[in-house]
């Protein structure tokens, strides 16, 4: 659940925002000590901030600058001040968006959802760990591990395994895999994909994992790994 910190001294408006955001499974917090906003922010550790400009003690621009010195948490200003100078100042201090009062709650919700998605959905993908049958793909470290063995992966090897392991037991076409590898600066062809698949298989075999990726001729590749015997186990038998 995402945590939203509301820095607003209009209690009626603040409670109305809390009521509406709670309906969308957002965990809301409000500031009570306007003299120590930064301290409360550090204690709550929110995913997004909604902040007024006109506040007791220090204005929102001041607190935005203080928060930006220690965090990249998204900040949306909510203010009745609608001059271009105020909006420019907010953005210059590090705000991500500026909504003038009175505002539509639907508009506020859309902007909150868009900022949360841009800020955290992409990052969560980068931090994702995928596991299948004890084989663990760690995208953060760019490694593949099994039991006590670990190998490093190239960027392309990560992309291939990420797609295959997320869709385990499903055939992924070569075309779809090539699209996953393609970017503006890197040309991908059939040979590039084949080379990368072979490299992954070699690394898997170095970890005593055989037949993890199966070729479906004419269709693509699939991870359908149910059981395997290492070379040592075969010799022992």
pLDDT in tens, 106-125: 889 888 988 888 888 654 44
Q: What is the pLDDT of residues 5-40, one digit of tens each?
A: 999 999 999 999 999 898 888 899 999 899 999 999
Domain spans in the chain, listed from the N-terminal domain onward: 3-126, 129-236
Enter the tokens of residue 70.
């220690």
8 A C-beta contact, residue 51 and residue 64: yes
For 26: left if phi > 0, alpha if psi spans -120 to 50, otherwise beta; the answer is: beta
Fold agreement (3-126, 129-236): no
Is residue 64 scored above 50 in pLDDT?
yes
Q: Whole-angstrom Cα distance, residue 229 to residue 65?
A: 59
Residues 130-160: tens digit of each pLDDT? 888 888 888 777 889 888 888 988 888 988 9
Choice between 23 and 51, residue whose per-residue pLDDT is larger: 51
CATH superfamily of 3-126: Response regulator (3.40.50.2300)
pLDDT at 126: 42
User: How many Å from the N-terminal Cα to the C-terminal Cα in the chain?
Assistant: 51
Q: How far apart are CA 81 and CA 89, in angstroms?
A: 12
- Of the CATH numbers 3.10.290.10, 3.40.50.720, 3.40.50.920, 1.10.10.10, which one belongs to the domain with range 129-236? 1.10.10.10
| Backbone φ, ψ for residue 215 (5° rounding) | -85, 130
């Amino acid at each position: 659940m995402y945590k939203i910190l509301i820095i607003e001294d209009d209690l009626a408006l603040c409670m109305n925002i809390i009521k509406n955001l709670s309906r969308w499974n957002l965990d809301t917090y409000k500031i009570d000590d306007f003299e120590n906003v930064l301290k409360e922010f550090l204690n709550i550790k929110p995913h997004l901030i909604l902040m007024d400009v006109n506040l007791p003690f220090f204005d929102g621009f001041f607190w935005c600058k203080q928060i930006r010195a220690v965090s990249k948490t998204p900040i949306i200003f909510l203010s009745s001040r609608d001059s271009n100078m105020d909006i420019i100042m907010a953005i210059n201090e590090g705000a991500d968006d500026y909504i003038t009062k009175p505002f539509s709650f639907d508009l506020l919700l859309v902007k909150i959802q868009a900022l949360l998605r841009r800020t955290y959905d992409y990052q969560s993908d980068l931090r994702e760990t995928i596991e299948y049958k004890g084989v663990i793909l760690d995208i953060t470290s760019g490694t593949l591990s099994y039991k006590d063995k670990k190998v490093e992966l190239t960027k392309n090897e990560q992309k291939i395994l990420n797609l295959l392991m997320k869709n385990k037991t499903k055939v992924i076409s070569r075309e779809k895999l090539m699209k996953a590898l393609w970017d503006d600066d890197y040309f991908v062809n059939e040979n590039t994909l084949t080379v990368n698949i072979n490299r992954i298989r070699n690394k898997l075999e170095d970890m005593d994992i055989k037949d993890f990726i199966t070729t479906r001729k004419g269709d693509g590749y699939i991870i359908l790994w149910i059981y395997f015997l290492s070379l040592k186990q075969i010799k022992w038998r």
